[in-house]
A and B are shown apart, each in its own frame.
Chain A
Amino acid sequence: MSTQTASQIVARCEALYDDLRFSAARDWKEAEPGRKVIAYMPVYIPRELIHAAGMLPLGIMGGGDSLEVIHGDAYYQSYICRIPRSTIELGVSGRLDFVDGMLFPSICDVIRNLSGMWKMLFPDVYVKYFDVPQTYIDEIGGTFYTGEMRELLHDLEKIAGRKITDDDIRASIEVYNENRKVVNELYALRAQAPWKAPASEAYLVLRAGLLLPVEEHTQLVRDYVAAASAEERPIKDNSRVILTGMFCEQPPLNLIKSLELSGCYIVDDDFVLISRWLLGDVPTDGDPVHNLSQAFLHKAMSTAAKYEPDQEEKGQFLVRAVRDTGAEGVIFASTSFCDPALLDRPILQNVLKRADIPFIAFKYAENSGQMQPIREQAGTFVDSIKLWSAA
């Protein structure tokens, strides 16, 4: 049990978040000869496979608002979102020179094409576009996904120079089950007592999970939940809202703080979605790759980057989240030029209208600096929620 306070833990997480040379991951790699680091982009990668190979999975969420993009802009037109350009900046500036492999999940055409760009720019690094099924039938999407995971395993074995056994994967699944469990506890605390675990803190705690070994992160989350639960903080007259649309390019920390300052308790969100992508435990008996596939197909988060085969089910995840957390409204915060989020938004808004759930929408970029308009919009939203609920 840690003796650290919540703010001490958050301070450590913030230092990790600010460190764009990824010193923690570099230190991990240098601690023992032969260690490898495999980086990945949003939204989801089966990190268990990387862990099972004895490697460190490293989440790259772009460069945030503190990275000056000098080279990256030369690769993209003005109408492309910011995450690929800041990620290229991280690459060409040498900040990722210790990374042995880079995985690009199937999320949108920009990240997809970035996988090819990475191959051209960094020919000595292992690069893989990780395709996932958008059909969720076992014999179809499941078989394909299992095949893709086996191909990834094969590549990882080559990099690791050793065989990855089923027992290795089972052990890693167990470790990640534990991590998901504590992350879910953190979300439960936020939904129950958001004044104890503000979103701006929880976000930093989650972001640390992209940089640290999973075992260390699990303990860190556990310590934060314990410390935050024990601390008394004043309850504010805020409204409970859900934040959605931030599944890829992450918001600047100031944006989250601004929403809180404007009177929002963010009781659920889709930040760093990989940490909660799989719902519940993945079984550790039987074929572990099959188990990961089953979890992906049948027990995974909904997000705009996925196809929803059932029209009736479309957007219901948001309605359920509102009910489960007692939220009073939804804020659609989408990255500028984000096809998945912005194309999905009108459908989700129609679902909320039918469920009589209020919402607002705005756009941001990872380096958005002007928070005043967002604060005013969110503040007005919160005021209107209070007026409605008082009526």
Chain B
Amino acid sequence: MNTKILKAQPADVLKDASMIKQKEMMAKHYDRLTNAPTSGAKVASTFVPGNLNELIMCFDLVNNLPEVNAIQSGLRKQSGAYIMEAERAGHSEDVCTYVKSDIGMMLKGNIGPNGKKLPNPDVLLLSYTGCFTFLKWFELLREQYKCPTIFLQTPYMADGKVTPNMIQYMVKQLKDTVIPTLEEVSGVKFDIDRLREYLKKSAQAEDDLVYILQTGKNKPSPIDAYFGGIYYIGPIFGAFRGTDDAIDYYRFLREEVDERLAKGLGPVTPDGPMAEEKYRLVVEGPPNYTSFRQFWKMFYDEGATVVASSYTKVGGTYDYGFRHDPDKPLESLAEYCLGVYTNRSLPMRIDMLTDYIKEYEADGLLINSIKSCNSFSAGQLLIMREVEKRTGKPAAFIETDLVDPRYFSAANVKNRLESYFQMVEQKRSGKGVAA
């Protein structure tokens, strides 16, 4: 296996082998999507939290994730124009920029990241999990695409527990509405053994994902669990969970990370391997995608590695023990949806971040508060204070947006980060936290 640092990319970006492999997988998936009109494959649009990829595959449907499309538009610096297109069409400047990027992209011809037109979905699988906006997003898309919309509601884990009423509700929805409509749309009969087989594969990849994310406990951490973590979660949060490709990818990634671990190396950044791990951070909240590389650089230039993050749990909290279970397939899908990070109560999120700081021996918590994501952002200031209180570690707060370049102020973010690193230094030297 080739684990050494590979060739420089066109824009002088260094990627490790797993990142290149991941990129190839994503490209292959987008080709599959854009070729759907000629291949005859049918397309199901759905969301990352509450993504039922194994079930979608049971009906030979291709999984299309509008959030991932918006991320791709952000990374390619196209989302700003899409958002403004949506605002010209009457969408408020106040609402989620994923939605507006998606709608703007649709209004501009729905050209995917591979330069080809994305097909209209044959079905919208509205998995309403952890984010109210999902509900309205697919009402907006339904109005345009005029295709069947399947609704699946995941109750919120407000009291920190999954109740039998919640599981029964979800399983009933799966049995009575989700599966029959998927059968109708696809023309494929549901086979529960096929689902079991996919779930078994999911669990295998999930084991490796957890192992990889938990290598962040080492010093130095061989991974960056936020910026690098976004590459790592791509396949399993997207269209590959339950596939052999995902098993291969996570095994490959695990071996790559193990090799860095054995050599005592830090993560690979776009400018090469991390020189020295000076700060170990836990990050809460999604990243900014329109200036992703610049944002990451602000961390690795200062020797800051993110050792654990909440964002890498939006598509499943596998490190808390959950695995897809072929022995109880539908219940397992329900439990998966219920457990995703954004469906967890604020006290649960505080517990999780506190645990991360302790278990990963982090220097503190950094919150990247996203302007257009209320699900994440509402309550983060209390989270910050509470985690700080419980751990005694300094916390800091920056504000950006997912894919709206108007809300990424590089100078402000950099200033805040530099001040934060000074706070960490002061804390370490026993001088207390600066006011």
Interface residues of A (CB under 8 A from B): 74-77, 79-80, 84, 106-110, 112-117, 119-121, 128-129, 131, 133-135, 137, 139-141, 143-144, 147-148, 151, 304, 307-309, 311, 314, 334, 336-340, 342-347, 349-350, 363
Contacts and interface: CB of A to CB of B under 8 A. Distances in A.
B352 to A, nearest CB: 13
A112 B159 CA distance: 12
16 contacts: A77-B371, A109-B131, A109-B374, A113-B346, A116-B347, A117-B379, A120-B346, A133-B153, A137-B177, A144-B155, A151-B163, A307-B126, A307-B151, A309-B149, A334-B92, A346-B140
B345 interface: yes
Contacts of B372: 79
Most chain B CB within 10 A, of A79, A80, A350, is at A79
Given A114-B378, A140-B177, A340 B169 contact: no
Interface string B338-381: 00000001111110000000000000000001011011011111
A74 B156 contact: no
A89 B167 CA distance: 36
Contact of B136 (A139, A343, A363): A343
B377 A77 contact: yes
A347 B137 CA distance: 11
Nearest to A334: B92
Given A344-B139, A345-B90, 13 more contacts: A75-B379, A75-B381, A77-B371, A79-B94, A134-B153, A135-B173, A140-B177, A148-B165, A307-B135, A342-B92, A343-B99, A343-B136, A344-B136
A363 B95 CA distance: 13
A309 B151 contact: yes
B191 interface: no
A139 B173 CA distance: 9
B345 A115 contact: yes
Nearest to B173: A140
5 A-B pairs with the lowest CB-CB distances in the bound complex, closest first: A116-B346, A129-B158, A343-B136, A147-B165, A144-B169
Contacts of A120: 346-347, 350, 382, 386
Given A117-B382, A128-B158, A137 B176 contact: yes
A26 B79 CA distance: 52
A140 B176 contact: yes
Contacts of A151: 163, 165
Interface in B308-347: 345-347
Contacts, number: 166
Nearest to A136: B151
A143 B177 contact: no
B372 to A, nearest CB: 8
B140 A76 contact: no
Interface string B237-268: 00000000000000000000000000000000
Contacts of A143: 168-169, 172
Nearest to B130: A109
A312 to B, nearest CB: 11
B29 interface: no
B132 A109 contact: yes
Given A140-B169, A345-B92, A349-B90, A116 B375 contact: no
Contacts of A338: 94
B381 A131 contact: no
- Measured as residues with beta carbon below 8 angstroms from the partner, the interface class of chain B is 35 or more
Contacts of A139: 172, 176
Contact of A343 (B95, B347, B369, B386): B95
B347 A110 contact: no
Interface in B45-95: 89-92, 94-95
A129 B157 CA distance: 9
Contacts of B374: 80, 108-110, 113, 337, 339
A347 B143 contact: yes
A144 B166 CA distance: 7
B400 to A, nearest CB: 12
Contact of A135 (B146, B153, B381): B153
A94 to B, nearest CB: 19
Contacts of A110: 374, 378
Contact of A131 (B91, B156, B380): B156
A147 B349 CA distance: 26
Most chain A CB within 10 A, of B136, B153, B377, is at B136
B408 to A, nearest CB: 14
Contacts of A309: 149, 151
B399 interface: yes
Given A116-B345, A139-B172, A140-B169, A134 B177 contact: no
Contacts of B349: 116
Interface string B140-154: 101100100101010
A135 B382 contact: no
A107 B382 CA distance: 21
Nearest to A88: B382
Contacts of A311: 142-143, 146, 149
Contacts of B133: 109, 339, 343
Contact of A350 (B96, B136, B143, B348): B143
A380 to B, nearest CB: 19
A349 B372 CA distance: 22
B289 interface: no
Given A77-B377, A109-B374, A134 B346 contact: no
A109 B378 contact: yes
A337 B94 contact: yes
Nearest to A80: B378
B128 interface: yes
B158 A109 contact: no
Contacts of B347: 116, 119-120
B377 A80 contact: yes
B95 A342 contact: yes
A351 to B, nearest CB: 9
A299 B118 CA distance: 40
A109 B375 CA distance: 5
Interface string B12-37: 00000000000000000000000000
Nearest to B376: A109
B159 to A, nearest CB: 8
Interface string B197-228: 00000000000000000000000000000000
B158 A116 contact: yes
Given A113-B378, A128-B158, A77 B139 contact: no
Given A311-B143, A342-B94, A144 B378 contact: no
